[in-house]
Amino acid sequence: RLKTINRLQVILQHLKMSNQTDSTAEVLLEKRGCAGIITLNRPKALNALNLSMIKQIHPQLKTWEQDPETFLIIIKGTGGKAFCAGGDIRAITEAGKVGDKLSQEFFQGEYRLNNAIGTCKKPYVALIDGITMGGGVGLSVHGHFRVATERTLFAMPETAIGLFPDVGGGYFLPRLSGKVGYYLALTGCRLKGRDVLKAGIATHFVESEKLPALEKDLIALKSPSKENIADLLNSYHKKCTIDQEKKFVLDEHMEKINSIFSANSMEEIVKKIKQDGSPFAIKQLETINKMSPTSLKLTLRQLREGASMSLQEVLRMEYRLSQACMKGQDFYEGVRAVLIDKDQSPKWKPSTLEEVSDEFVDNCFKSLGNDDLKL
């Protein structure tokens, strides 16, 4: 009898999932034409990713990957403001404070999903319209195609909350041209619109209002190959003229960025910035001085090591770092200062780069034995 009840629950769950009119669901999963479509549906929370969404998306992604009738997967957000503004940081903070398992389960689930996207055999198209930060980057950047619009706002702002640019940041950031990834990771610099494409984070750029038409055309493709999908995205991309003439916002600073951020340690980066002394450099110094010194050191090493690792190795390393941050104090203090009290003045411990010892950093990267992330 129990089996029948379980089977009923599975069927009900399935019906709930395929019923697109259920506008209250946090994530909508539906099959239309040749495509599986994932819609992040927490507009009030800027589509921030929580554990229940992860638990729904991951198995569905795997099912579509095996399904001979599904030729591509599309992921998008609702509400017009954000694709996905990040992970559900507040829930993780509350859990971490009381030693709840969520602070392990969330990162495990999220990184496994990032890996599933990165290894997905079906073409994966992320429509990154609006705010795309942290966890939202993890849901998009490891797939085959990332379509940015004039409304895309990209950032990895984790060093400001005592964390590090995770979700595979250690893999994709050091692979961007020059040292731009190191710069984005350490300063949390925001890129807008076409700059997201020029930095190498997006693969295509399309007007926001053209996305429904693009989606319709993708869904209407008949048994498309990856090349067919690329051709369609390219045709939309070529027609888009918004900001076509504008130079990449970091172009004029690239020489400085490459020189400063190629230093081997955070202390050396700061020293190079001070020696440079230009208005651009002074601005970067002000930004870096606000960040968690511990986070800065972890991030620099994460990127330097991640540059020669596979995505799987990076995610395992990042899981170790996530658990080190959960045990520390800066993450809770950063979330308090930036997201809860919003006084924007976190009290970091230690408060200077010099006080964050190499030994401490080494410990954060150490294997967790049986508790290491299994992919």
**37: which strand partners?**
30, 74
Measured distance CA(375)–CA(314) in Å, rounded: 11
Whether 209 is a known active-site residue: answer no
> Among the options 88, 158, 318, 330, which is catalytic?
158
Name the nearest CA neighbour of 92 among 75, 114, 109, 115.
Answer: 109
In one letter, which amino acid is 337?
A: A
> Among the options 33, 86, 87, 170, which is catalytic?
87
> Among the options 86, 109, 118, 135, which is catalytic?
135
Whether 243 is a known active-site residue: answer no
- The per-residue DSSP string of 68-99 comes to TT--EEEEEESSSSEEE--B-HHHHHHHHHTT
Q: Are strands 35-40 and 27-32 parallel, antiparallel or unpaired?
A: antiparallel
Measured distance CA(260)–CA(267) in Å, rounded: 11
Name the nearest CA neighbour of 319 among 266, 265, 366, 361.
Answer: 366
Whether 87 is a known active-site residue: answer yes
The position carrying tokens 């290894």 is: 119
Measured distance CA(271)–CA(313) in Å, rounded: 31
Whether 166 is a known active-site residue: answer yes
Characterize 122-145 residue by residue with b for buried, 16 or more Cβ atoms within 10 angstroms of its Cβ, and e for exposed. bbbbbbbbbbbbbbbbbbbbbbbb
> Among the options 88, 166, 318, 330, which is catalytic?
166
How far the first Cα of the chain sits from its last, in Å, is: 34
Catalytic residue set:
87, 135, 158, 166
